[in-house]
Chain A
Amino acid sequence: MSDLPSEGLALEARDLVAGYEPGLPIVRGASVAARPGEVVAVLGPNGSGKSTLVKAIVGLVPVAAGTVRLFGREITGLPAHRFVREGLAYVPQAENVFARLTVRENLELAAAVLPGPRRHERIEAQYRLFPDVGRLRALPAGRLSGGQRQMLAVARALVVEPRVLILDEPSAGLAPRLAAVVFDTLRTVRALGVTVVLVEQNARAALALADRAMVLVEGRDRVTGPAAGFLDVAEVARLYLGGLGARAR
């Protein structure tokens, strides 16, 4: 999304090259940007590098080239545990709660980066926002259903009042009914004014929520545009419905 001016962006990843092994990049020069308060959907077929792109942004995959800026401040290559302190929270796709910790302990763990007096207040705020999470606070997170886990994972990310939240396929593997609950959760997040980068397979549901969208193919960003009518753009249709993206729908 190099079409946006860098000024005033909440999150800007520019020309990222990243991968697990040196010399074998999975992300091969991808850019993504989000203005404050915006929801940006990152779409693309399976194996296009969407997950690797966001993992590179939050320091879980080594970045070989490119920069990541948060409100203008460069944060490329920080150790992964530093990002929440910078105001960037991330919810991974799978195994995103601590199953052996209780719901409450999951939230307390995240709240540990806050100053002491604010921790309790921020946890209570999540209970109000997600009454289900509050109701289940004493249970080990491993006992929660798939949808409840996603809700807890999002609540845990919100505990630190992040300025930017990155979500990696929050509806993956969920039954349609539960996926709908997750998208309701994301609407709640959106209403808080948090900037969101949402990686999704389910393009329609994501676009219904997003302000803008991009398509990633083979580790590169190919099309960027407003979410409304995004699927009608000829190139998106070609990338998605052509050979590369046939499975994605």
Chain B
Amino acid sequence: MTWIPFLVDGLLLGSTIALGAVGLTLTYSILGFANFTHGDLITWGAYFVLSLLLASTAATGSGLGQLGALSFGWPFLAALVVAMLLTGALGLLLDRVLFRPLRQHGTQIVLVIASFGASLALRYGLAFLYGPEPAYYTRDIQLAGPIVPGLPAVRATPNQLFVLGLTAVLVVGLHLLLTRTTLGRAMRAVSENPTLARVVGVDPQAVVRWTWLLGGALAAVGGAFVGLTVQVRPWLGFDLLLPLFAAAILGGVGSVYGAVLGGLLLGLAEALAVPLVGAEYRAAVAFAVLLAVLVVRPRGLLGVRE
């Protein structure tokens, strides 16, 4: 039963990757390019939460608050919601000043190259503003407790369970949005055939704006998760980029459930690889998975043939 902790670890890590990959797969398929700034949007979300918490602590003297067994309360949740809006707005701003003008003249590849530049500016902008040192939402140490009766080896902290739960809620919510609402259908339509979408009356600019907003908001939640369970650094999102791309492509670009599946599988693969290759090569697992998918089945597990 020694593998059980790795399994739990893998699922927890996988849920963070899954959430990031859901946002990435959405923007990848609708905006139509591999957006290297997605990782940095995650980081900005984490730092927005940090800044809001610092500000509220300074203003009210109260910290994260407390909700049941969780190490945080309403102040944190409020900061998370505001950070989602701010990160979405940051995505909109990027689109307005950089990607939209380029979209009118350039191809997908020009957008990817532009995202290198934006990614550098965003990431190192944070390093300039906050310094390279890691920061923490809270210094409290949470103990992992057993969560399944009869299986004492299955342990997780309340915060980790919250992360799992919220990921599930967001994924289901996103699925409902995509299948049950006019906006969601329009997003899927633009992702499949932008020209035909215009023909049937979908305003592509509006869909692109909503996609940035949603992608940014989801990225912010991912960043807040990392901040809550690990620490906040200017590189946290960029370091996630390779696993996120691997998960999105493994699941099939454009497929929300595929991204979740890809994220969880990748988290498990990384965790289970630790006893085999050592923790230091954990990050290379994403690359191995990515390469295998691209060679064997480029459309991914749940993807659609182009």
> How many pairs of residues, A versus B, come closer than 8 Å at their CB atoms?
70
Interface of chain B residues 178 through 209 with chain A (CB within 8 A): 179, 182, 185-186, 188-189, 192-193, 195-204
Instruction: Give Cα A110–Cα B203 distance, bound, in whole angstroms.
Output: 12
- B304 within 8 Å of A by Cβ? yes
Q: Would B185 and A109 count as touching, CB distance under 8 A?
A: yes
Q: Among the listed A58, A59, A80, A99, which residue makes an inter-chain contact with B192, where contact means beta carbons less than 8 Å apart?
A: A99
Decide: A98 near B189, CB < 8 A? Known: A92-B196, A112-B182. yes
On whether the beta carbons of A84 and B200 are closer than 8 Å, the reply is: yes
With a CB–CB cut-off of 8 A, which chain A residues contact B195? Answer: 60, 80, 92
B201 and A98: CB pair below 8 A? Answer: no
Chain B, residues 262-290, CB within 8 Å of chain A (1/0): the string is 00000000000000000000000000000
What number of A residues sit within 8 Å (CB to CB) of B?
28
Q: Which residues of A contact B186 (CB under 8 A)?
A: 109, 112
How far, in angstroms, from A85 to B182 measured CA to CA in the complex? 16
Query: B304 and A112: CB pair below 8 A?
Result: no
Asked if A81 CB lies within 8 Å of chain B CBs, one says yes
Chain A residues with CB under 8 A of B196: 92, 95-98
- Across-interface contacts of A95 in B (CB, < 8 A): 193, 196
CA A160 to CA B200, docked complex, whole Å: 9
**Hey, which chain A residues are within 8 Å of B204, CB to CB?**
81
In the complex, the answer to whether B185 meets A101 with C-beta atoms within 8 Å is yes
Determine how close the nearest CB of chain A comes to the CB of B29; give it in whole angstroms.
10
A90, CB-defined interface residue at 8 Å:
yes
B contact residues around A72 at 8 Å (CB): none
Tell me if A211 is interfacial: C-beta within 8 Å of chain B. Answer: no
Which residues of chain B are near A100, meaning CB under 8 Å? 188, 192, 304
Residues of A within 8 A of B200 (CB): 84, 109-110, 156
Minimum CB–CB distance for A208 against chain B, Å? 27
Chain B 197-236 near chain A by CB (<8 Å), digits 1 or 0: 1111111100000000000000000000000000000000
Q: Is A218 on the interface with B (CB-CB < 8 A)?
A: no
Residues in B whose Cβ lies below 8 Å from that of A97: 196
Measured CA separation A148–B195 after assembly (Å): 21
Q: Is A79 an interface residue (CB 8 A)?
A: yes
B192–A98 touching, CB < 8 Å:
yes
Complex Cα–Cα for A83 and B201 (A): 7
CB of A237 closer than 8 Å to a CB of B: no
Of residues 55 to 112 in A, which have CB atoms within 8 Å of B's CB atoms?
58-60, 79-85, 90, 92, 95-101, 105, 108-110, 112
Bound CA–CA A221/B108 (angstroms): 37
Nearest A residue (CB) for B202? A81
Are A101 and B198 also in contact (CB < 8 A) when A109-B186, A112-B182, A112-B185 are?
no
B201 touches A84 (CB 8 A): yes
Interface positions, chain A 96-144, Cβ under 8 Å from B, are 96-101, 105, 108-110, 112-113, 142
Residue contacts A-B, CB under 8 angstroms, 19 given: A59-B198, A60-B195, A79-B203, A80-B199, A81-B197, A81-B198, A82-B201, A84-B201, A92-B196, A92-B199, A96-B196, A98-B196, A99-B192, A100-B188, A101-B185, A101-B188, A112-B201, A113-B201, A160-B201
Point out residues on A near B: beta carbons under 8 Å. Answer: 58-60, 79-85, 90, 92, 95-101, 105, 108-110, 112-113, 142, 156, 160
Given A84-B201, A109-B189, A142-B304, 4 more pairs with CB closer than 8 A: A97-B196, A98-B193, A108-B185, A109-B200
